[in-house]
Amino acid sequence: MKYKRSFLSRLFDAFNYTFLGAFACTAILPFLYVLACSFSSEKEILERPFYIIPRNIQLTAYKYIFSSPTLPRAFMISVFVTIAGSATAMFFTLTLAYPLSKKYLLGRNILLALISFTLVFGGGMIPTFLVIKSLGFINKFWALILPGAISTWNLLVVKNFFQELPQELEDSARVDGCNALGTFLRIVLPLSMPVIATFTLFYAVGYWNDYRSSLLYMTDNKKWPLQLVLRQIVLMAAGNIDGATFDEAYTQPPLEGSKNAVIVFGTAPILLVYPFLQKHFVKGIMIGAIKG
Amino acid sequence: MNGVSLQAAGGKTAAGKVKKTSKLTLIRKDIWLYILLIPGVIHYIVFKYMPMWGLLIAFKDYNAYLGFFNSPWVGFKHFAEFFSNPDFKRLLSNTLQISFYNLVFGFPAPIIMALMLNEIRKEWYKRAVQTLVYIPHFISWVIIASLTYTIFNSQGVVNKYLLQMGREASVPFLTDSRYFRAMIIGQTIWKETGFGTIIYLAALSNVDPQLYEAAIIDGANRFRQLWHITLPAIRSTVVTLLILRLGHILDNGFDQIFLMSNSLNRKVSEVFDTYVYIIGITKGAFSYSTAVGLFKGIIGIILIYSANWLAKKVGESGIL
């Protein structure tokens, strides 16, 4: 429907398009700048203000970070924790969400109440730390994987999704002699592939980005994932954090360029899966936005 | 197995032994559902409810050698100590100030952005903007803190431009405590505004376009349409998110604050979350720091229930 637009209306549109465009640019430009810096010489980083195309591309920074095993090892640890973590998390989330989606399940309401309660109240950092410690998980990768294996929010979203699947399909499988487990594995899971994809990616992003668990539970710095090493190299070496030391495995202090290279390492996997993530997450979030 | 039990139940009824289905039969019918529950339930017991039970050490003098059960009870000693500690006032003030600014600037930002996006008629432009502004949400705080250090340090991009524009000295964004809160709020807005629009845009997409058409025929300009159609459509979403936000007024987010704090800005950067970590994990005062955490948790739960009560009082649906 077309109608005559006033001057004010057009002025607003001009402002609106410009402002949103600018905001969108600020969301991506820091990454492009860091990427450019990681391929530049020290001199260029120091002299030039913002740029996204380096004058002459060089790999000094990357050579530097591969000069000790610290970073490659941390990268592999992060990859391992992310893959093992998302698989574990999906196992726990799906197996709990499916029974909870059945309204006739005995004790369902009390379980849901107890689960939802954890959204508003929890034991907090210290009691959780003591539980992990008493389980003997300190310096074990279990400490990075298990505590975050169910996000209550994700669980409730998946539960709501299962609840909305047509019950007739499951009933007919049951009539044909399939038990609840068979129905779950052969009927429900294949129908839930988009949801499974979404939440696997959500969990993967969470595990990749997690740094608090390793800060709390990993005292052995040979078992540190990328995020913690990143903090040490970039923030501590900047002298901004108390007890500033960088890994003695590196023979010289990190150069500006190599800090940027480390940031690239921490960000690149997320940006690579982002297109797949984006395809699903809006839908995934909306499924759960319904109360109940 | 289940099929058999179903048939057995049916057979009994047919045979005339009319019996109310007992709970046991119901459980046997769906035995696999109950088996599937087990791992998840254990997870909740171990990682969510055991820590809640562990909160009891706030009332004990926890000692690693004596263990959880044998450590002596001390009642409210740690709470009394915390409330009389000069740290308490400073922590409360720092926490509330950061939360307040986050509420005032951070909470409306996604609403405003969603309304702005809603006014964009060129679909491709809207989608491009959305794709870009969602990205920072998925980036870790470690990376964001690192980017902040890279861009805002004394030799960073921002200071290079400020010097070019004629400032004599670089601005100590990262080390001067005056800039700490602004940096924190700025980071939050940059990271979460885009992603925060999703929920509002979803509410807006449910609005019947006929409402706008009718309004145009009635001579409503764009501002009137916004006021009478768009805003009422997102009101209940705003209230729900505001309730959730109020419940977390004492949570500043450990990761962000911890990464951005340093010895030079400690006097404004220390909040409950980071204090618990430093006193508890690095200094080993488990009982005292648990008491601090418990205090925070109880205030949180009181706030969330009161906000919910208030929302119902003013005619919104609330969340609980």
Chain A positions in Cβ-Cβ contact with residue B263 (cut-off 8 Å): 242
Identify whether residues A118 and A136 lie together within a single domain: yes
Residue A216 confidence (pLDDT) above 80: yes
Asked if residue B80 belongs to a domain, the reply is no
Residue B67 confidence (pLDDT) above 60: yes
Task: Note which residues in 182-201 of chain B have CB less than 8 A from chain A.
Answer: 190, 193-194, 198-199
Asked if residue B320 belongs to a domain, the reply is no
Query: For residue A178, what are its two tokens?
Result: 């399939």
Q: Domain range spanning residue B265?
A: 85-313
Q: Model's pTM, two decimal places?
A: 0.87
Average pLDDT over residues A262-286: 81
Identify whether residues B97 and B152 lie together within a single domain: yes
Helix (H, G, I), strand (E, B) or coil at A39: coil
Identify whether residues B98 and B139 lie together within a single domain: yes
Identify whether residues A120 and A214 lie together within a single domain: yes
Q: A102, exposed or middle or buried, with CB in 10 Å at 0-12, 13-18, 19+?
A: middle
CB-CB contact of B122 with A248 (8 Å): no
What domain count does chain B have?
Answer: 2
How large a percentage of chain B has pLDDT more than 90?
48
Query: For the residues of B243-267, what is the DSSP string, one character each?
Result: HHHHHTTT---HHHHHHH--TTTHH
Question: Nearest CA of chain A to the CA of B176: how many Å?
Answer: 11
pLDDT of residue A41: 85
Q: What distance in Å separates the CA atoms of residue B101 and residue A228, rounded to the nearest whole number?
A: 29
Residue carrying structure tokens 């400073």: B90
Alpha helices in B57-176 (DSSP H): 67-70, 77-84, 86-101, 108-118, 123-134, 141-152, 157-164
Q: What is the interface pTM, i.e. ipTM, of the complex? A: 0.88
Residue B137 confidence (pLDDT) above 90: yes
What domain count does chain A have?
Answer: 2
Identify whether residues B38 and B120 lie together within a single domain: no
Q: B226, exposed or middle or buried, with CB in 10 Å at 0-12, 13-18, 19+?
A: middle
For residues B169, B175, B180 and B184, what is the CA-based torsion angle, rounded to 10 degrees? 100
pLDDT of residue B130: 92
Identify whether residues B20 and B148 lie together within a single domain: no
First-residue to last-residue Cα distance in chain B: 39
Q: Sorting pLDDT into bands at 50, 70 and 90, what band is A227? A: very high
Least confident of A272-286, B177-191, B261-275: A272-286
Average pLDDT over residues A101-129: 92
Alpha carbon of A282 to those of A146, B41, B130, B198, B206: distances in Å? 27, 29, 11, 7, 15
Asked if residue A1 belongs to a domain, the reply is no
Mean pLDDT of chain B: 87
Identify whether residues B205 and B91 lie together within a single domain: yes
Rg of chain A in Å (alpha carbons): 24
CATH number of the domain bearing residue B195: 1.10.3720.10
Any B CB within 8 A of A106 CB: yes
Identify whether residues A80 and A161 lie together within a single domain: yes
Residue B62 confidence (pLDDT) above 50: yes
Residue B6 confidence (pLDDT) above 60: no
Average pLDDT over residues B94-102: 94
Asked if residue A2 belongs to a domain, the reply is no
Please tell me which residue, B101 or A246, carries the higher pLDDT value.
B101
Residue A185 confidence (pLDDT) above 80: yes
Identify whether residues A37 and A75 lie together within a single domain: no
Average pLDDT over residues A195-209: 91
The nearest alpha carbon in chain B to A20 belongs to B129
Least confident of A25-34, B144-153, B190-199, B309-318: B309-318
Identify whether residues A122 and A243 lie together within a single domain: yes
Identify whether residues B99 and B16 lie together within a single domain: no
Identify whether residues A108 and A236 lie together within a single domain: yes
Helix (H, G, I), strand (E, B) or coil at B73: strand
CB-CB contact of A117 with A126 (8 Å): no
Identify whether residues A84 and A227 lie together within a single domain: yes
Chain A positions in Cβ-Cβ contact with residue B259 (cut-off 8 Å): 231, 235
Distance of CA A266 to the CA centre of its chain: 11
Identify whether residues A39 and A171 lie together within a single domain: no
CB-CB contact of B129 with A24 (8 Å): yes
- Of the candidates B275, B18, B75, B1, which has an alpha carbon nearest to the alpha carbon of residue A125? B275
Put simply, the answer to whether B138 touches A209 (Cβ < 8 Å) is: yes
Asked if residue A192 belongs to a domain, the reply is yes
What are the two backbone dihedrals, phi and then psi, of residue B319, each rounded to the nearest 5 degrees? -125, -10
Query: For residue B296, what are its two tokens?
Result: 């925070």
Q: Domain range spanning residue A54?
A: 7-58
